[in-house]
C-alpha cells in the first residue's frame, strides 16, 4: 500500500478515528491546529505548505472542507489531493447521512 496522508480539522477527530478503525487505514493522520479556523488565509498557507512538503506521499486527503475558502486553489504537483466539496466541518459530518443542513445555517 502506498503512503497516504490525511490532514484533518480536530473537530472531525472522533468520527475520523472511528472510520479509520473500520476501514483499516494505515497511513499518517495529522490534526491541524484549531487556531487555523479563525484565519482562513493562514489555513490555506499551512495546507499548501503541507502539500508541498509531502513529496513522498502518494495521496493526500484534506479533511477541513471549505473553512472560509481556505481550500480554494490548493495545488499539488507530486501526488493527487482530495478535498471535500463542502462549506465546513459540519457539512463533512452530514454528507452521506441523509440530513440536510437547514437553509440559512451558518
Main-chain phi, psi angles of 34, to 5 degrees? -60, -25
**Per the structure, how many domains does the chain have?**
1
80 part of a folded domain: yes
Residue 31 has a pLDDT of: 93
55 part of a folded domain: yes
101 part of a folded domain: no
Residue 12 has a pLDDT of: 85
Per-residue pLDDT tens over the stretch 25-66 = 889 999 999 888 888 899 999 999 999 998 889 999 988 766
23 part of a folded domain: yes
More confident residue, 48 or 91: 48
- Residue listed under C-alpha cell 488565509: 41
105 part of a folded domain: no
Angle at CA of residue 41, ends 37 and 44, nearest 5°: 85
Which of 14-28, 36-50, 65-79, 90-104 is predicted with the least confidence, judged by mean pLDDT?
Answer: 90-104
Residue 22 has a pLDDT of: 92
29 part of a folded domain: yes
- The proportion of the chain whose per-residue pLDDT surpasses 70, expressed as a percent, equals 77
Per-residue pLDDT tens over the stretch 2-13 = 589 999 888 889
42 part of a folded domain: yes
Mean pLDDT estimate for the chain:
82
102 part of a folded domain: no
Angle at CA of residue 50, ends 47 and 53, nearest 5°: 150
**Domain enclosing residue 86, as ranges:** 4-94
- Quote the CA–CA distance of 52 and 66 in Å, as a whole number: 19
Whether residue 1 is predicted with pLDDT greater than 50 in this model: the reply is no
Amino acid at each position: 500500500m502506498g503512503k497516504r496522508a490525511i490532514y484533518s480539522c480536530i473537530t472531525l477527530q472522533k468520527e475520523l478515528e472511528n472510520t479509520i478503525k473500520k476501514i483499516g487505514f494505515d497511513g499518517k493522520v495529522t490534526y491541524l491546529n484549531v487556531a487555523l479556523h479563525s484565519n482562513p488565509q493562514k489555513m490555506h498557507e499551512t495546507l499548501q505548505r503541507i502539500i508541498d512538503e509531502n513529496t513522498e506521499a502518494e495521496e493526500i486527503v484534506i479533511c477541513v472542507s471549505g473553512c472560509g475558502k481556505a481550500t480554494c486553489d490548493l495545488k499539488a504537483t507530486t501526488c493527487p489531493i482530495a478535498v471535500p466539496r463542502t462549506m465546513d466541518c459540519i457539512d463533512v459530518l452530514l454528507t452521506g447521512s441523509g440530513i440536510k443542513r437547514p437553509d440559512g445555517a451558518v
